Structures are given as structure tokens and as C-alpha cells.
Homo-oligomer: A and B are copies of this chain.
Amino acid sequence: MNKFIRVDMTTLKVTTEEVPAQYAGLGGRALTSNFVAAEVKPTCHALGKNNKLIFAPGLLSGTSAPNSGRLSVGAKSPLTGTIKESNAGGSFSQKMAKMGIKAFTIEGMPADDKFYVIKIDMNGVTIEEAPAEILGGCGNYEAIKILSEKYGAKVGIGLAGPAGENRLPSANISFKDPEGNIRSAGRGGLGAVLGSKKVKAIVIDDNGAPGVPVADPEKFKAASKIFAKAMLDHPVAGQGLAAYGTNVLVNILNEAGGLPAKNFTAGRIDYNDNISGETLNATITERGGDGKVSHGCHAGCIIRCSQWYPDKDGKYITSGFEYETIWGLGADAGIQSLDDIAYCDREMDDIGVDSIETAVAVATAMEGGLIPYGDGKAALEAIKEIRKPTPLGRILGSGTAVVGKVCGLFRTPVVKDQGIPAYDPRPIKGIGLTYATSTMGADHTAGYCISGNILKVGADIDPLKKDGQIEYSRAMQIGTASVDSTGMCLFVYFGVADNPGGYQALIDMINAQYGINLTATDVDKLGESVLKVERAFNKAAGFTNAHDRLPEFFEYEPCPPHNAVWDFTPEEIDEVYAFENEGACNC
């Protein structure tokens, strides 16, 4: 991967250059975050001409390494104002890597109001006016179909939905998956950045691509085999996720008393059977038709946590039907019908909004009186308004923080203006530290402490106690920054956390591909360096430790059934990133 492509939307000119020295050896999040930190003014407006958007495959993307097909997208976030990396499945990352493209950036902003399609193939990059039929409310499912017809069934596509066209802060970037359905770089509003640059879609055609060179194919193959076995042997990575999807977590979190219910007023619901992973599996199995219990979001996935959820007649409704979405609408917003939630999920994917942010926004809007509590039909109608967008649609599409603001609420579950996802930080204190301190705003995937707190994978820490949580959240955030740089799905963590051989195999694959000799310590150092770069950007953008705090109500509202409150002191929270100041002046 030696090509670094820049598209300047101000001039509509494309530059293809060798990878700049400062970005050599980086991939995925390490690359996107170093790029944004180096080239984007931290105090710029995220929707202005000085923000830059970057797409980068991970270090292992495009190889035969299992689960290595994630794409990292980076920019300054219009939702949080922080640096942002959001990653997604689909085929985009693997195609870029096979074409030798290390990164692809979109910079500047056109003076006119036209939307464009950027086409990337082995002949280069072209910028065309977007067909009118995919603009102004056309959903992502339809737009992908039209673009696939126009540019070829096998092309990869990344696009801004109606929400991104309207630059709404929770707009995601949607990616076509192998079957033409939708995968999302969900969090942080990067679809609004794409829309601000007047790019409706990026189409990538890897026909004729040389593929990814591997320095030591034998060593790579051997390591890959060990790595795959580590995945498949693990009860979570190899079995639980394939059977029940990520939604396996509804019953687990409910049992643990950490499933946030009714806008974070409790940690348990009594209708969990209606929306659980077990019910999801049984419903798909029973309905048949288009339904698939297990399915991968990109070629080469062996975890296969996705699924196709069909309606009563067996017709496809949605895929990638994730726990966090089902939790948000099901437990937090009180919608007790999996079908109602599925139609909302489809609508959010079709409009192109982050389904976590939007689900939390809906639950918060219910507390604010904008939508009747627990009403799945009303929630769907409200979500549909984001497409137009009506004033209510604009509010919901702007995310949880804006909903809280316009409703005058103090019970607004956000950190750095990003909605808190599906794990209550009071009874599961490790994840609370990640929410508070993550460089991305509240984000469970930034350091998934649920693993050691609840699933007991990789660690065994009492979720209700503070002991050991600071070190654990720190280690998980560092490890995640490394994994996010490889193109690997985050879930590979489950397979390697308790399996030193599996972890070594992951490092061995990188070494074999590039002909280098990274150690586990090097990988940790990479993660640390990524976090330091991100923190430095955020600091220059105006963020301080005072922003590394959970909403105040968690400190004084106990969460039943454990009646836990958030009791980390500011000083304790700040220890998570103590490594950032090593060697700095402490006067």
C-alpha cells in the first residue's frame, strides 16, 4: 500500500502521492488519527472547509487474515468536536488495500451546491456529478442499488445518506456490504463531514488490483491458522456471537443489572425475553425466508455476528441488527417489540444516522415529552422525520445532547456530546471510566471493559467495585487503539485475550506481511502513541480533564437493582490517562 490519494473538493482536483514519511508504517486508526492531528486545525469548524476526512484500511486489510476487513474513517467530529475514528465492515477496506491505496482523503469544499460521486479504480480517480435520483431523500438501500447498477455489481460504495446530505451531527457513513446491504461507520457524525464536502458517494472498483503483497507467505499462513483457531475455539468469539449476534448481551446485561432502562433510570427490565438474542435467533429461525441467523459483515469474517432479520413473511427487514440498537430502543426507550425495533433499525440505516446515537436520542426525547414512552410506532414515525428533515427530525438527527438541550433536561446521557451506549456505568464501573476518558466521547468500543467486568474474558474484575478499574480501562483503551489500527474487528479481542498464542499469531501476521519484527510491547506502544496523538488534538481543540466526566446525575441517582452510583473522584478518573503526562512538568 504505497498510494496516498487526496481529493480537493474546492478545486475538484486529485493528487496521488507516495505515502508521506510521517504516515509510513501506520494503518487504520493510527493513520487516520495521526493524519487528522497533523493536518486539521483543532479549532476549525468540523463542517467547514478546513476539516479533512480520511479513509484508511488497517495494516492487515486485504490479506487473508480472518476478520481484517475493517475500514477506519477519521476527521474532526461535528458531534463531539473531538478527533474521531469510526470503523466499519463492508468491502471498501479490502478493495483499497488490494489496490495499494494506503489512504484516501477528502479536503476543501465546493463553492456551489452540487453533490458529487468520487470514483476510484485502477485508472485513477474521477469526480462526477451525483445522479439526481440518489439525492434529496433517496435512502441508502436504493442509492446502493442505483450506484451498483451504474458502476458494476461488485464495486465497493461508501455514501452519505439523507442525514449526511443535510449535515446532521449524527449522520454516519454507510458502506455497501458483500450482499449490497449496509454497514456503517456509525459514531461521531462523519457522514455530515462527507455531506459538507458535497460528496454523496465514493465508489471503488478494484478490478485489476494487484492484491496485497506479503513478505513471508508461509509464516503468514501459519500464523493465520493459529489465529483463526483461537477465534473459533472461544465461547464468545466462536459460538455466542454467531448464534445470537451481539444481542446475546441483552440477557447477560439484564442479569447483571447493568442494562440501562427508561433513559438510565434502572439497570434491569422485566420484558427482556421480548428483545433478547435468544428470541432474535428463534424468530429468525422460525420465520425462515430471507432470515439468516449468522452472517459476516465483510469477506473473511469467521465470527459472523451479523444476521438478516426478516418480517413475518420471511422478507428481509434489516441486517447488522446490533445489541446497542436493540438495547437503545428496546430497554432505554421501552419498545417491547423486536419487529418495531427492526423497522426503526432499517430506517436509521436507510437515512444514514448512527443507530446508537439515534436510539439514545429517541429515549431522551421520550423523557423530554417529544415522543410517547415505549411507543415503537411513534418512534418509527419520529425517526422517519430525519429524512425530510422536519424540525423534529433535525433535533433527533442532531443527537442526544441536542435533544437534552431543546428539552431542558439535566438527565442527558452523553459524554463530550456523544450518547452513552448500552452499559450502565454505575453498576459496571470499568466501562464508565472508558466513557468518561475516551478520546472519542462516550464509546463502549474505545475500551470495552464489559469484557473483564461482565463477560470475564481477559480479566475478572468486580463491576460494582472501583478496584482495578482504572488500570483496566487504560489497558483496554490502549489495546483497542492498537487493534483499530490493524483492520481487525474488535471482537478478535475475545479470541486472543486469554490465549497468548492467539495474540502472538496476530502480531506474527503483521510481521510476516511487512517483513518486520514487532513485539507485544511495540504493539502496546503503538496504542499508547495513538491515544497520545488523539488527546493532544483534543486538548488543542479545547478539551480538558473537566470534559472527562460522566453526566452529573449518575453521581446522585442510584441505579436499581444494585442502587450503585458513579463514585469515581475526578482525580481517580484522571489517572486513566496518567501515561500521557510522563516526563511532563507537574508544577
- If A395-B395, A546-B540 touch, whether A408 touches B587 (CB-CB below 8 Å) is no
B169–A408 touching, CB < 8 Å = yes
Residue of B nearest to A163 (CB): B408
Tell me which residues across on chain B come within 8 A of A549, comparing CB atoms: 43
Tell me which residues across on chain B come within 8 A of A169, comparing CB atoms: 405, 408
A34-63 interface (Cβ within 8 A of B): 41-50
Chain A window 172-201, contacts with chain B (Cβ cutoff 8 Å), 1 for yes, 0 for no: 000000000000000000001001100000
Tell me which residues across on chain B come within 8 A of A15, comparing CB atoms: none
CA distance A412 to B398 in the complex (A): 15
Contact of A553 with B by CB under 8 A: yes
- If A395-B395, A552-B45 touch, whether A405 touches B406 (CB-CB below 8 Å) is no
The quantity of this chain's copies bound in the complex is 2
Chain A window 323-336, contacts with chain B (Cβ cutoff 8 Å), 1 for yes, 0 for no: 00000000000000
Interface size class of A (residues with CB under 8 A): 35 or more
Binds B, one of A213-221, A228-236, A386-394, A496-504: A386-394
* A382 smallest CB distance to B (angstroms): 10
Show 20 A/B contacts (Cβ-Cβ < 8 Å), sorted by A: A45-B412, A46-B410, A47-B409, A47-B410, A48-B410, A49-B556, A167-B407, A168-B406, A168-B408, A169-B408, A195-B408, A390-B391, A391-B406, A395-B406, A397-B406, A402-B405, A539-B544, A542-B544, A542-B547, A544-B544
Contact of A127 with B by CB under 8 A: no
A546–B541 touching, CB < 8 Å = yes
CA distance A49 to B410 in the complex (A): 9
CA distance A86 to B167 in the complex (A): 34
A45–B541 touching, CB < 8 Å = no
A394-423 interface (Cβ within 8 A of B): 394-395, 397-398, 402, 405-410, 412
List A residues at the B interface (Cβ < 8 Å). Answer: 41-50, 78, 166-169, 192, 195-196, 370, 390-392, 394-395, 397-398, 402, 405-410, 412, 539-544, 546-547, 549, 551-553, 556, 585, 587
* A200 smallest CB distance to B (angstroms): 15
Residue of B nearest to A195 (CB): B408
Tell me which residues across on chain B come within 8 A of A49, comparing CB atoms: 556
Residue of B nearest to A165 (CB): B408
- Which of B47, B50, B394 is the one whose CB lies under 8 Å from A406? B394
* A380 smallest CB distance to B (angstroms): 17
CA distance A577 to B539 in the complex (A): 20
- Which of B196, B391, B546 is the one whose CB lies under 8 Å from A43? B546
B45–A553 touching, CB < 8 Å = yes
- If A167-B408, A549-B43 touch, whether A394 touches B395 (CB-CB below 8 Å) is yes
Tell me which residues across on chain B come within 8 A of A540, comparing CB atoms: 546
Task: Kindly list the 10 A-B residue pairs having the minimum CB-CB distance in the complex, ordered from nearest.
Answer: A167-B408, A542-B546, A391-B391, A394-B406, A48-B410, A391-B392, A45-B410, A47-B410, A585-B587, A45-B552
Most buried by B among A398, A410, A587: A410
Residue of B nearest to A542 (CB): B546
Residue of B nearest to A365 (CB): B391
- If A540-B546, A547-B542, A587-B587 touch, whether A408 touches B43 (CB-CB below 8 Å) is no
Tell me which residues across on chain B come within 8 A of A47, comparing CB atoms: 408-410
* A47 smallest CB distance to B (angstroms): 4
* A475 smallest CB distance to B (angstroms): 26
